[in-house]
Amino acid sequence: MKQVGVKRFSFSRIFMYLFLTLASLFSIFPFYWMFVMATRPSAAYNSIPPTLTPGNMLVENFKKVLNQIDFFGSMWNSVVLCTIVTVVVLFISSLAGFAFAKFKFPGKNALFIAILVTMIIPPQLGLIPQYLIIAKAGLLDTLQGVMILFFLNPLGIFLMRQYISESVPDELIEAAKIDGATNFKIYRKVVLPIILPAFATLGIIVFTATWGEFLWQFTVLRDPEMYTIQVALASLNNTFKVDFGMLLSGVFWATIPLVIIFLLFNKLFIASITEGSVKS
Amino acid sequence: MVFAKTLYPIVYLKRGVKMASLKRKHLSEEKKDMISGYLYISPFFIIFLIVGLFPAIFSMYLAFQKWNGFSPMEFVGLSNFKVVLTDPLFWKSVYNTIIMGIFGTAPQLIVGIILASLLNQAFLRFKQFYRVTIFMPYVTSMVAVALVFSVLFSNQETSMANYIIGLFGMDPINWGTSEWGTKIAISIMVFWRWVGYNTIIYLAGLQSISNDLYEAATIDGASKFQQLRFITMPLLKPFILLTVFTSTVGALQLFSEPTVFLGNNAFTRNEAMTIVMYLYRDAFRLQSFGTASATAIILMVLIVIIATINLLLTSGTSLRERGERK
């Protein structure tokens, strides 16, 4: 859209950069401020004008966090939860996506539409019975109890079906069949290698969504020893008098790994999230 | 001659067997595919039956029962719905949800479109930097965002939010406990986390529009505004519909942000109680599973209604647009 004769420095351009820079600052500021507060005593909060430079209590505040919650334990719980959920969802979705894309069987279209319809059901509708089922199965306060609900991922099947029907040629499957490969072997040896890029996309979507989900984890996990990081962080704010430096130190250390991963893979990250929502 | 005569039936037979076996193999291949097909989609459906469909149906059953989780259930007809629909706190939560929904999402969509169109300018420098920083809030979890904002918007006179409004000569606000303070703080928090996400969706939409269209329009003498009105807006419409739909449904299900933001006060005060918080409080604080299930069903009906209105409104505007153009 480069146009001839547009001045390099027009007012509208200056305004544009100003607006974008303000938006960027608005987006980054809470991250920076979280870092500042994580390095300051709670008293820094009472100063006017507000403190905007880091102090020297980075370690001390984090020690206070460790006294309050099992930070590393709950981080580990979240990592385990998200990893298992992601792997299982990738497996279930790609297998089902493969079936919907390449096999003929009666009722295929109706079943696929049924899967799309399940996307519309709000997750809160079944919350109470889901909780009762997990309780009955003795899975309260366990990661298994949390993850079973997250295995249900209609979006994954939808994305995988689309990707497989677009990028796995029928001839390749026919050829493998003539060579005598079973269907599952075709899935493993032919389909899987081709759909690895789609795994990256769906994997990022599922991992991020599971990491940040709160309602269900908050409902199932009541025992502090089994907390995931979201529930543990939320519990920091549940005391009457909150130590802000400690609170934001916990949030800071829980957020920073994600931010680093995002910054390293930002292009893949943004593309995945966009693709996931636009395609559906 | 004799030799050939005796050989003939054998050849015939062999061919017949071969054809039959081919046919049988073909059939079994189809059957195999069918079995694999059902087998491969079964994990989803088995899990769906257990933790999706059954709970949804059971919720509808529970909505007509009086039950605290321990004593036997008692059929009470529509009384749970009556209890919920005559509870002022329920209507307060509906009101809160709608207010925070509007303040949290409407500005988000407008600012998102503006940011996306700026980011789409060809001559823009540092594009990647702006894209990444504006998208970054989406990476943080809702709990983390709510905690950071609960400190930024704390009740204290020295809180960041109170300092900033103080610069404009305003008096400090009790962000954590006042009627409008909580709603505004939570709306800003929702805005902050989602505006970048919507910007990226709109940007994807803008980039899918071919440049040729604009060039052709420029040659035809169309002004910038006309280009925006007749090329950008119609082609961006599916993307706008998508974001309006997802953020409306998301707004109706608002739970984590207010719950974590309010901390101790989450289920005892009502300034920012949302519909899902009302449901949660009924179920897990008051052990009233019947009324909570009734609320869940009312919520679903509400979501269906608003989604339908949403679709009708947007298809309505497109009809009007077409009328205008004629």
CB contact under 8 A, A251 and B147: yes
Other beta carbons within 10 Å of B317: 11
pLDDT by residue (tens digit) across A14-31?
A: 999 999 999 999 999 999
**DSSP letter assigned to residue B221:** T
**What residues does each domain of chain B span?**
2-56, 79-325
Same domain, A184 and A216: yes
CA gap A123, B291 in Å, rounded? 17
Residues 6+ apart with CB under 8 A from B136: A27, A28, A31, A259, A262, B196
Residue numbers in A near B118 (CB within 8 A): 16, 19-20
Quick check: is A242 in a domain? no
Nearest CB to A34: which of B54, B58, B148? B148
Backbone angles phi, psi at B75, to 5 degrees: -70, 125
Residues of chain A positioned with their CB less than 8 A from the CB of B260: 214, 233-234, 237
Looking at residue A160, what is its pLDDT?
A: 96
Distance from CA of B91 to the nearest CA of A (A): 18
- Under the phi-then-psi rule, with left for phi > 0, alpha for psi from -120 to 50, and beta for the rest, what region is A196? alpha
Q: Which of B280, B290, B263 is closest to B177 using CA atoms?
A: B263
Q: Which residues are CB-contacts of A208 (< 8 A; sequence separation ≥ 6)?
A: A273, B139
CB < 8 Å from A in window 197-256 of B? 197, 200-201, 204-205, 211, 214, 239, 242, 246, 249, 252-253, 255-256
Same domain, A84 and A122: yes
Q: Return d(Cα B119, Cα B133) in angstroms, integer.
A: 12
Residue B146 burial class via C-beta count within 10 angstroms: exposed 0-12, middle 13-18, buried 19 and up:
buried
B305 class by beta-carbon count within 10 Å (0-12 exposed, 13-18 middle, 19+ buried) = exposed
Same domain, A126 and A177: yes
Question: In terms of DSSP bridges, do strands B74-75 and B65-66 run parallel, antiparallel, or are they unpaired?
Answer: antiparallel
- Sequence-separated (6 or more) residues with CB below 8 Å from residue B318: B237
Give this complex's ipTM. 0.91
Residue B75 bridge partners (DSSP): B65
Minimal Cα distance from B199: which residue of A?
A274
CA-closest candidate to residue B257, choices B200, B305, B194, B164: B194
Cα A36 from chain centroid?
Answer: 26
- A224/A158 same-domain check: yes
Alpha-carbon distance A131 to A10, whole Å? 60
User: Same structural domain for residues A107 and A227?
Assistant: yes
Note whether residue A262 is domain-resident: no
What's the pLDDT at B272? Answer: 94
Domain boundary, last residue among A58, A77, A92 = A58
**Is there a single domain that holds both residue A81 and residue A45?**
no
pLDDT per residue as tens digits for the range A245-267: 999 999 999 999 999 999 999 99
E strands along chain B, which residues? 65-66, 74-75
Q: What is the pLDDT along chain B (326 residues), one digit of tens a residue?
A: 344 444 444 444 444 444 444 545 556 888 888 999 999 999 999 999 999 999 999 999 999 999 988 889 999 999 999 999 999 999 999 999 999 999 999 999 999 999 999 999 888 889 999 999 999 999 999 999 999 999 999 888 888 999 999 999 999 999 989 999 999 999 999 999 999 999 999 999 999 888 888 889 989 888 888 888 888 888 998 888 889 888 988 999 999 999 999 988 889 999 999 999 999 999 999 999 999 999 999 999 998 888 788 778 766 555 455 444 43
B263 Rama sector, left if φ>0, alpha if ψ -120 to 50, beta otherwise: left
B239 contacts B205 by C-beta, under 8 angstroms: yes
Question: Cis peptide leading into A106, omega within 30 of 0?
Answer: no
Three-state SS at B75: strand
Specify the DSSP class assigned to residue B66: E
Which residues are paired to B66 by β-bridges?
A: B74
Residue B40: predicted pLDDT: 96
Residue A100 has its nearest CB partner, among B41, B146, B264, at B41
Contact B116, B228 (CB under 8 A): no
- A7 pLDDT more than 60: no
User: Dihedral angle at the C-alpha atoms of B60, B61, B67, B72, nearest 10 degrees?
Assistant: -170
Q: Which residue of A has its CA nearest to B193?
A: A27
CB contact under 8 A, A242 and B263: yes
How many beta carbons lie within 10 A of that of residue A118, not counting itself? 18
Q: How far apart are CA B227 and CA B237, in angstroms?
A: 14
Shared domain for A171 and A39, answered yes or no, is no
How confident is the model at residue A85, as a pLDDT? 98
Distance from CA of B146 to the nearest CA of A (A): 9
**Alpha-carbon distance A84 to nearest alpha carbon in chain B (angstroms):** 16
- Residues A101 and A32 reside in one and the same domain: no
Report the C-alpha gap between B90 and B288 in whole angstroms: 14
Amino acid at A192: L
Which of A34-48, A163-177, B285-299 has the weakest average pLDDT? Answer: A34-48
Do A157 and A203 share a domain, yes or no? yes
Residues 141-160 of A with CB under 8 A from B: 148-149, 151-152, 154, 157
CA B246/CA B250 separation, integer angstroms: 6
For residue B65, the cross-strand partners are B75
Looking at the fold, whether A85 and A204 belong to one and the same domain comes out as yes
User: B155: which 2 tokens?
Assistant: 């009740």
Are the CB atoms for B232 and A268 separated by under 8 Å?
Answer: no
How many domains does one find in chain A? 2
Rounded to 5, what percent of chain B is helix, strand, coil? 80, 0, 20
Instruction: Look at A133 and B51 and tell me if their CB atoms are within 8 Å.
Output: yes
Q: Which residues form the domain of A38?
A: 11-58
Two tokens, residue A245: 């430096």
How many other C-beta atoms lie within 10 A of the C-beta of residue A12?
Answer: 8
Instruction: Give the C-alpha separation, B100 to B250, whole Å.
Output: 11
Compute how many other C-beta atoms are within 10 angstroms of the C-beta atom of residue A46. 13
CATH code for residues B79-325 = 1.10.3720.10
- Return the residue of A nearest to B296 by Cα: A125
Asked if residue A215 and residue A152 are part of one domain, the reply reads yes
A123 touches B: beta carbon within 8 Å: yes
Task: Tell me the C-alpha distance between A18 and A9, whole Å.
Answer: 13
Is residue B53 within 8 Å of residue B71, measured between CB atoms? no
A26 and A93 belong to one structural domain: no
